[in-house]
Amino acid sequence: MPYNVPAGTRTIYGGRYSNPAWRIPIPALSWASIPTTLDEVDPADDPAVNPNFPSQPPWQLGTGPQSRVTSAFSGGAYCEDAKVFYVWGGGHGDYAGNDLYRIDMTADAPVWERIRDPAQSITYPGPSLDDGDESLGYYSGYDSVDDFQPRSYHTYGGLIVRDGLLYALPGSAPYKIGGNIPSCWAYNPATDRWTQLAQKPTTANNATFSSGAYDSLRDQWVYIPGGNNVIDVFDFGTQAWTAGAGGFTNFGASEARAVYYPPFDAVICFSNSLPGHVAYYELPLNPGVDAITASFSGSPPPETTNYGLVYLPSQNRIVAWIGGSVLYVLTPPASIAGTWAWSVVGLDDTTYTPPAQEPAGTWGRLAYDHDYDCLILVNRTIDPLIIGALS
């Protein structure tokens, strides 16, 4: 069985988390790094996992290496309660491995763990990855032999941690085809098992998945597709989808991002097909109400909307990262119909200079931790864990 190391025990002091050793020395408004990389736990380099070691493993034959876990339109999810970051991705012709990674930020010196090994490894032998069952969303055969093995796919901004479970709400381009799949999953780290969820309904061309936003007030996931399509909603309480819960996005671009903004009870959407990148849905959703393009000032990020994106409650700002030392900051107006203001802030990069972002985007691999008051960023598999201290 693959190893499954529980996340570290949280330390509480004065009602707040005490800072671990890695956080204490970082000056305010500066970049830093933690010397641990995903490629240090590449299953291809592990003789206990790779049946062809030291040669190329089955999950790389005809595709690419572990580096495509981050480079192939894939994201991650940060659990602020447990302070654990998950990364999972690949798919299409990029990467067949469905290995899952985690890092515990409560540790004084966090290191990446590979908590699930790839299908067709020594750990999970079983049938060929080229089983012709891409539409199922999982590698056929494993459901009866061990447990479900969801196929690797482009996860985009579709990963979220809720109540300790990692949810993968539907991705795109499963290994080894392009296109979309309705398959949705939940991973339980306590049992080390994936569970298949209700499939996402097909609505308005079922556009390539781009992102989602967690509506904490209603405990639901609002699916934001690329292109001009209606939006669907996944309810965590009922574990069911509602097709076409909201109107059309009116986006021309094939990719989009979103965050839930509690002060306005709204989902704020980001698409590079819009002049200022910003549109919104006021909640509750209505099937007949489309996204509204926002008024804006300043200059939005110059790159397409596959940037990392987080809402900072403590500052009431939304922050985007497109690579390098600069952050793009979106300041909300006094009312939702007002002018949303873009500005640029550069963090000091004397200690560490963040590289360019992965060309296919950062997606959910940028997170914010309120207790540590910092950004946590996963870029390439060869990069260290990147920290942006805000205070």
Q: Which long-range contacts (CB under 8 A, 24 or more apart) does 264-268 make?
A: 264/332, 264/335, 264/336, 265/217, 266/336, 267/213, 267/215, 267/222, 267/224, 268/213, 268/318
211 part of a folded domain: yes
Closest listed residue to residue 99, CA positions, set 123, 128, 134, 83? 123
112 part of a folded domain: yes
What is the C-alpha to C-alpha distance for residues 12 and 15, in angstroms, rounded to an integer? Answer: 6
pLDDT tens string, the chain, 391 residues long: the values are: 233 333 444 444 344 458 999 999 999 999 999 999 999 999 999 999 999 999 999 999 889 999 999 999 999 999 999 999 999 999 999 999 999 999 999 999 999 999 999 999 999 998 889 988 888 889 988 876 667 889 999 999 999 999 999 999 988 889 988 878 888 999 999 999 999 999 988 765 455 668 899 999 999 999 998 888 899 999 999 999 999 999 999 998 888 999 999 999 999 999 988 999 999 999 999 999 999 999 999 999 987 668 999 999 999 999 999 999 999 999 999 999 999 999 999 999 999 999 999 999 999 999 999 999 999 999 999 999 999 999 9
Query: Could you count the other beta carbons within 10 Å of the beta carbon of residue 259?
Result: 21
**Token output for 349:** 């990069």
- Number of helices (H) and strands (E) in the chain: give both, helices first: 2, 27
323 part of a folded domain: no
Q: What is the pTM of this model?
A: 0.94
- Decide if 328 contacts 301 (C-beta within 8 A): yes
**Token output for 18:** 């005490």
- Decide if 153 contacts 92 (C-beta within 8 A): yes
* Domain encompassing residue 99: 39-306
224 part of a folded domain: yes
Please, is 288 exposed, middle or buried when counting C-beta atoms within 10 Å of its C-beta (0-12, 13-18, 19+)?
A: exposed
- Decide if 67 contacts 381 (C-beta within 8 A): yes
388 part of a folded domain: no
23 part of a folded domain: no
Residues near 30 by beta carbon (within 8 Å), at least 6 away in sequence = 347, 348, 349, 350, 351, 388, 389
9 part of a folded domain: no
Query: Could you count the other beta carbons within 10 Å of the beta carbon of residue 14?
Result: 6
383 part of a folded domain: no
Structural domain total, the chain: 1
Residues near 276 by beta carbon (within 8 Å), at least 6 away in sequence = 294, 295, 296, 300, 340, 342
127: CATH: 2.120.10
